[in-house]
Amino acid sequence: MTGTTKAEQKHLDDMEAFVAHAAGLATMALAPEIETRIATLAQAFDAAVAGLPPAPLTVLVYHLKLPDEHRHIDYVDIQADQGKIDYTSVLQHTFAMARGFNPDCRILYVTGADDDTAFVPADVTVVRLPLNPGWLMYERVVAMNAYLASSAFTGHAAFLDSDAFANAPLEKVFDLGFDVAVTYRTSPGLMPLNEGVIFAAKRPGDGAAKFFRRYLGTYEALCADARVKEVYGDIRRWRGGQLSLNGAAIATGHLSDLDRRVIDGALLRYLNCDDFNFFIRDSEQYSKFQLKRKYVLHLKGPSKGSVASAAQFQLPWLQVWRKSGANLFAPILQAELAAAAPAPKTEAATVESKPGGYVKPMFAFINKEYNRPPFDAAETRQKFGGHIQAAAEILQANRPGSGAVAVDDMLVWFRNAGFLQQEDFIRAVGSYGTDQTLRARIWRIYTLCWAAKSCLGLPGDFMDVGCYDGRTVEIMERYCDFRSDPSGKTWFLYDLFENPPDEARKSGHGPELFDRVSATFAPFGNFRVIKGAVPESFAQGLPDRVAFAQLDLNVAGPELAALEIIHERLVPGGMIVFDDFGFQRYRDSHDAEMAFFRARGAVIFESPTGQGIYIKR
Amino acid sequence: MCGIAGYLNFNPARAPDAIQATIARMNRRIAHRGPDDRGQWADPDNLCHLGHTRLSVLDLSAAGHQPMHSADGRYVISFNGEIYNYRNLRQQLEKLGHQFHTGTDTEVILAGFAVDGVDFFTVVDGMFALAIFDRETGITTLARDRAGEKPLYYAAGDGFLAFASELRALLEVEELPVTLSESALALYFTLRYVPDPDTILAPVKKLEPGCVLQVTRDGRQSLNRYYSFEIDQAHEVGPDRLSKYVDTLEEALSEALTDRLNADVPLGAFLSSGVDSALACALLAKKLGKTVKTFTIGFEGDPGSEHIAARDIATRLGTEHREHIFGAADFDRICGDIGKLLDEPNGDRSCVPTYLLAEFTRQHVTVAISGDAGDELFGGYSRYPAFAVAYDRDRSGRAPAMVQTYIERGLPVFAADAVREALPQGYEAVLDFYDRYAPVFMHLGRPALHSLRQLDFRTYLPGAVLAKVDRMSMQHALEVRTPFLSPRLLGLASRAGLGLCWNGKMQKLALRHLLARYLPAQHVQAPKKGFGMPPSVFFNNQARLEQELRLAHRRLSETRFFTQRPGALDRLFRAAGKGINAIWATIVLAKWVDSVERPL
């Protein structure tokens, strides 16, 4: 900074007041000779676009070659040597990006009457205007007014600095609905609005033209203002464009994209520079993803010389955009979501037996029916599972209090499912709450718990016919506190434990299973684990009176045979729960058992869990 | 917590006594906001007249009387709210040589404004709506807090501008003609509330959150913003820094709570089963070691009622817990009075339970901590994931249409067709609402969840949630304080990356991680529940609702507004169908209209 006076510094220290001062001078009034000049220049635009097809968007780029006497900028808050910048390569990149991201746009290059245009691509329309290069910024506002007054203004327009590179389709910006959109920044000490990117919409009412008239009128008023002269001197060359834009757009206070202002008949929107006019500097590092999120990249200060580095990012980016369009961010966002934080680690809810705990059910394809058509096709299974999952997501199924549960080949909603939060049940499930197989059939397990506990006060013993690894009985036992039952009941557990028929085979069957299950229940004293085929194995031990029994043999013949024996011993009020009764796969068991009870004038309840429940009267 | 009122007179011929009488009536209208004291002030130049009703929370002495004058007499303030960092601000001002004469935050605001003008609001942590008259310049400054916790209504008429904490107070300004606003009605039937800056009555406006309105002595208005909630993607925190973020969150929330504990009256906290209130209570009880009185409300016969889980949380945290079960009698009572209780129509179904909770809480304390704003700030609403997924998958749509879809499907009230056909001119305001907030969806590559958070913070939070909390609590002179809205929390929330808000399965991850330090899984992982009256309440009272709906039709059809628009009401009623939101919004509107003493 060269010799800033106290008066100058005072103004700059309170930029907001300075802008407010400019806003106070804002006017639409233009001298007649200026209006005449605009009309004359508009004709040049008319001529330039004559015969061109209409375009939904025009990108207007303005550049004048500065004569040597004007190349040095030396203002109180900015100093630069414009002559050092290779504007040819900068402009070529500006044109390329404008076209690349906006294939259907019209690009107008507004320049001086004698400036070189040999480097300008064929798809860019050159508009030569008799402009004063010594008044670089003032003439730009005049040129923009001339464009808006011309027949060339048929679609929306984006006014870009010669070093402002489109980085996304700009037509999208006009979805927001405005006459003029300006870009703001919140950097202290800078004027809030930057003039390098301005959007002018073609809408009824000519709001854009009205605002730009105000822009120029304000510029004129500021040129004549003593306070402005004191700080900046001649602002027609530099600084005046920005200050008059801030004044005309009343850029005071904290600007936000929330705000719209109707100013002299024009609807103004304020867009954040961070998205719509992003300044890039050589001195800073930017991630590619950061740059991809910007509508316009704008070189600032000395970095004007480094257009090559911008091109290095933008050219490949443009190719990606062309292939994927507006939705190219979808996979990026997916990846971001995939990398999101895991759920918080907490004390496992499933073993929480304190009030407020929760047994978390799960939905799993453990039913053998999923091995048959149409589910045997992985694609079908996947599709089906996806739909179930989507519905479960909507319902927030299997979350405490959601009222929805996906379990046991069911998805139900508007339910209490209160048992999942029942303290006794949570304690009974205990550490098995982390077992996926058990969680996937938790409603069935609860049904068993309920039935067993209901029969606790009855005379007679308990039976589990087809107990497999005994874990379900363990849960029931804990739920009933069977080991402490004072009535002297015994729980009889039956299973082959090894070499079961294919239909009943599970991964845990084997020579050790019997010992393992026996060992589990041995300490309790009132359990008997009997190995062998049912009903033959009943010979090893069978209660005289049965209060509760579960039948789960997966094979109709032995199940019915066992039923006949158990039913005879079942006490009034006693229950039998048939694990397979409602499942399509075991229709033969269902039919046989139905016939069995029908013959005795009794009924069996088919539960939504797939279980059948019989209570002896 | 208090109420403010004011009248700026630009007509020298108007008699000051008449204006003071108006102020007195306005004060009476808002007496429920501040039952402890009442004050009026008249500018000797007959330009500015101020009124105030006071609920004493800090410095209960008469020194806190308002309107309050600055020491040099230049500024006069009428202030509603609490400034939580006023002690710190006071110290800074004292270093500048300022001498204070009371223990109130009001005096600090007055002094700070004298030093920094409207910039002072940017350093304030608090909830407020205020008016400051500068006797030297004749400029009156109206300001509202960042998020819109405290309301401020204003209306310009022939040679005057009046303002007040509540809309009904402005109805005491006899020279202010008011009509039902078609734009506002269309917005109400779309949103269930009337968003800032509109109000249900033209020409009354609400000052937007984070804004300052300055009015010159000749009535010229200048509106500026000093705050808006932005998503700061340039500095966003990803899941790799989760642990550090949660530490900071804990510290910031504890700090906000500590600041909000300052009161010279009994203080408690709302507690539902949700993450936000549980977290606030957990930090109060476990981190700050406070003995906390907690209050919750449950719904009779509703299996999803939150009071059961809240009770368990209270037990675990060791709070002094009380609960009130919402029953049929409550429904009857509130349903009958809802029009009078609401200052401006608000069809949010949670107004009723909030009213009861406030009523019940006020029996024990004067100030309550709430967990409001956690959902907007950290992405907690259950409607978010579906929209976020859809919008992130396909961004080809127009941004205003994305806002529209979210509003129409995420928070459905009346079908858009019905509103457009019934109120064609008013529907333009609905479209303008979509346009206005469309920029939230313009950010390239920004997860849509952030856009939804920002949208709701800017619209739903002040328009529905905070308005409800203020009006319902103020009916009982209960001051509700919201730690999530401290500037530090707002800053932290603005930097929370997607991965701290949502992992595809669970929302508000950062908050849940923090809560996991204090409560077990079933509370940490519990899904979001709304605080609205559950559908069961409506089903159980169906006959009453049907009767109310018939009455609503009759009441509304008798208004000048609907008389002038034949067919409009029937079109809306046909659309109301069995939609709970539409039915309740209609009943509330009709009851509100019925309670207004002006012809509408």
Chain A residues touching B510 at Cβ < 8 A: 341
- Taking the C-alpha atoms of residue B170 and residue B164, their distance in angstroms, rounded to an integer, is 6
Contacts of A510 (CB under 8 A, 6+ apart): A497, A498
Lookup result for tokens 């009880």: B285
Q: Are strands A491-495 and A405-407 parallel, antiparallel or unpaired?
A: unpaired
pLDDT at A288: 83
Q: What predicted TM-score, i.e. pTM, was given to this entire model?
A: 0.78
Which of 262-291 (A) contact B at CB < 8 A? Answer: 269, 271-272, 274-275, 289-290
Sign of the dihedral through C-alpha B470, B475, B477, B478? negative
Lookup result for tokens 């031990």: A541
- Taking the C-alpha atoms of residue B477 and residue A118, their distance in angstroms, rounded to an integer, is 76
pLDDT at A333: 85
Q: Check CB contact under 8 Å for A345 and B516.
A: yes
Q: Which of A168, A259, A348 sits opposite B225 (nearest CB)?
A: A259
pLDDT at A353: 39
Q: Which of B395, B502, B516 sits opposite A344 (nearest CB)?
A: B516
pLDDT band at B59 (very low <50, low <70, confident <90, very high): low
Chain B residues touching A168 at Cβ < 8 A: 444
Backbone angles phi and psi of A163, in degrees to 5: -115, 30
DSSP state of A80: E
Q: Check CB contact under 8 Å for A172 and B382.
A: no
Grouping H, G, I as helix, E, B as strand and the rest as coil, residue A471 is: helix
Lookup result for tokens 């097809």: A53
Query: Hey, what are A40's tokens?
Result: 């004359």
In a mutational test of the A interface, the residue from B119, B216, B440, B442 whose CB has the highest number of chain A CBs within 10 Å is: B442
Phi-psi region of A516 (alpha: psi -120 to 50; beta: other; left: phi over 0): alpha
pLDDT per residue as tens digits for the range B377-430: 999 998 999 999 999 988 888 999 999 999 998 888 999 999 999 999 999 999
pLDDT at A349: 37
- Taking the C-alpha atoms of residue B306 and residue B315, their distance in angstroms, rounded to an integer, is 14
Which of 379-438 (B) contact A at CB < 8 A? Answer: 382, 385-386, 392-396, 398-400, 435-438
Q: Hey, which residues of B are catalytic here?
A: 2
Chain B residues touching A172 at Cβ < 8 A: 442
Mean confidence (pLDDT) of chain B: 93
pLDDT per residue as tens digits for the range B170-181: 999 999 999 999
Q: Which of B233, B458, B527 sits opposite A258 (nearest CB)?
A: B458
Which of 235-254 (B) contact A at CB < 8 A? Answer: 238-239, 242
pLDDT at A307: 85
pLDDT per residue as tens digits for the range B447-479: 999 999 999 999 999 999 999 999 999 889 899
- Taking the C-alpha atoms of residue B159 and residue B163, their distance in angstroms, rounded to an integer, is 14
pLDDT band at B313 (very low <50, low <70, confident <90, very high): very high
Lookup result for tokens 């190995």: A531
pLDDT band at B575 (very low <50, low <70, confident <90, very high): confident
Edge to edge, what strands does the sheet with B126-134 contain? B68-69, B75-83, B126-134, B140-144, B211-215, B221-225
Helices (H) and strands (E) in chain A, counts: 20, 22
Return the axis-axis angle of helices B242-260 and B487-494, rounded to nearest 10°: 160
End-to-end alpha-carbon separation of chain B, Å?
31
Let me know: does A129 contact A44? Beta carbons within 8 Å. Answer: yes
Q: Check CB contact under 8 Å for B522 and A293.
A: no
Q: Which secondary-structure segment (H or E) carries A135?
A: none
pLDDT at A549: 97
The one-letter code for the residue type at A254 is H
What distance in Å separates residue A57's CA from the closest CA in chain B?
Answer: 17
Contacts of A211 (CB under 8 A, 6+ apart): A179, A180, A200, A248, A249, A263, A264, A266, A268
What distance in Å separates residue B213's CA from the closest CA in chain A?
Answer: 11
Q: Is B139 on the interface with A (CB under 8 A)?
A: no
Query: Hey, what are A490's tokens?
Result: 């015994």
pLDDT at A505: 80
Query: Hey, what are A510's tokens?
Result: 């084997």
Q: Check CB contact under 8 Å for A341 and B505.
A: no
CA atoms within 13 A on the CB side of B391: 28
Instruction: Name residues of chain A where pLDDT drops below 70.
Output: 1-13, 76, 83, 301-305, 326, 346-356
How far CA A518 is from CA of A521, A522, B87, B185, B401, in Å, comes to 5, 6, 71, 74, 66
pLDDT per residue as tens digits for the range A367-377: 888 888 888 88
CA atoms within 13 A on the CB side of B516: 20
What distance in Å separates residue A190's CA from the closest CA in chain B?
Answer: 17
Q: Are strands B293-299 and B267-270 parallel, antiparallel or unpaired?
A: parallel
Lookup result for tokens 């004469």: B101
CA A558 to chain centre: 55
Q: Is B58 on the interface with A (CB under 8 A)?
A: no
Q: Which residue of A has its CA nearest to B506?
A: A343
- Taking the C-alpha atoms of residue B321 and residue B296, their distance in angstroms, rounded to an integer, is 8
pLDDT band at B210 (very low <50, low <70, confident <90, very high): very high
pLDDT at B283: 97
pLDDT at B60: 65
Q: Is A528 on the interface with B (CB under 8 A)?
A: no
Query: Hey, what are A82's tokens?
Result: 């414009």
Q: Which secondary-structure segment (H or E) carries B467?
A: helix B467-474
Which of 464-503 (B) contact A at CB < 8 A? Answer: 497-500, 502-503
Query: Hey, what are B279's tokens?
Result: 């977290």
Sign of the dihedral through C-alpha A45, A48, A54, A58? negative
ipTM of the complex: 0.90
- Taking the C-alpha atoms of residue A532 and residue A537, their distance in angstroms, rounded to an integer, is 5
Q: Which of A342, A352, A396 sits opposite B503 (nearest CB)?
A: A342
pLDDT band at B41 (very low <50, low <70, confident <90, very high): very high
Lookup result for tokens 């909630």: B229
Sign of the dihedral through C-alpha B225, B229, B231, B234? positive
